[in-house]
Amino acid sequence: MLATITDFLAEWYLVTKSLHVVSVITWMAGIFYLPRLFVYHVEQVEMGSPTDKMFQTMERRLLRGIMNPSLIATWVFGLALVFTPGVVDWSFAWPWVKVVCILTMTWFHHWLGLRRKEFVMGTNTRSGRTYRMMNEVPTILMLVIVFAVITRF
C-alpha cells in the first residue's frame, strides 16, 4: 500500500509541484492584497457607510473565495511534495527554514482573518500604518522561502 502511494506521488511529481506553485501564487496575491484593502478601509472609509459594507464584502470574498482555498491547496500539494520520495532531505537546513516560514505565513493568514472580523464588528483599533507594516511580513517570508528552496543551503 505504502509503495503504491509513493509510486503515485513520484509519478505525479511535476503535476503536484505545478499545482503547488499555482496555489502559492494565488495565496500570496491575496495575502499581499488584503492588508492593502485594510489600509484603505481604515483610512478612507466611514464606519457604517455603504462603502464600509462594500469593503467588508470585498475583504470577505478575497479571504473566503481565494485565500482560504489557496491556503488549503498550498498545504495539500506541499505535503504531497514532502512525502514524495527524494524531494526533501531533512538533513539540510532549508526545509526546516521553509517550515518555520510557512507556519508563520499561515499564522499571518489567520491574523488577517481575525482583523477582517474586527472590521465586520466595528471594533478595529489598528491604524493604516500598522497594516502597512504588517504587509511586509509576507514579503520577508516569501524571500526567505524562495532563497531557501532555490539555494538549498
Q: Which of 119, 133, 121, 137 is nearest to 42 (CA)?
A: 119
Q: What whole-number distance in Å separates Cα of residue 74 and Cα of residue 97?
A: 17
Calculate what percentage of the chain has a pLDDT beyond 70. Answer: 99
Nine-digit cell at 36? Answer: 492593502
**70-123 pLDDT, tens digit each:** 999 999 999 999 999 999 999 999 999 999 999 999 999 999 999 999 999 999
**48-72 pLDDT, tens digit each:** 999 999 999 999 999 999 999 999 9
Q: Domain limits at 26?
A: 2-151
150 has a pLDDT exceeding 80: yes
- Residue pointed to by grid coordinates 504588517: 134
Domain count, the chain: 1
**What mean pLDDT, rounded, does the chain reach?**
95
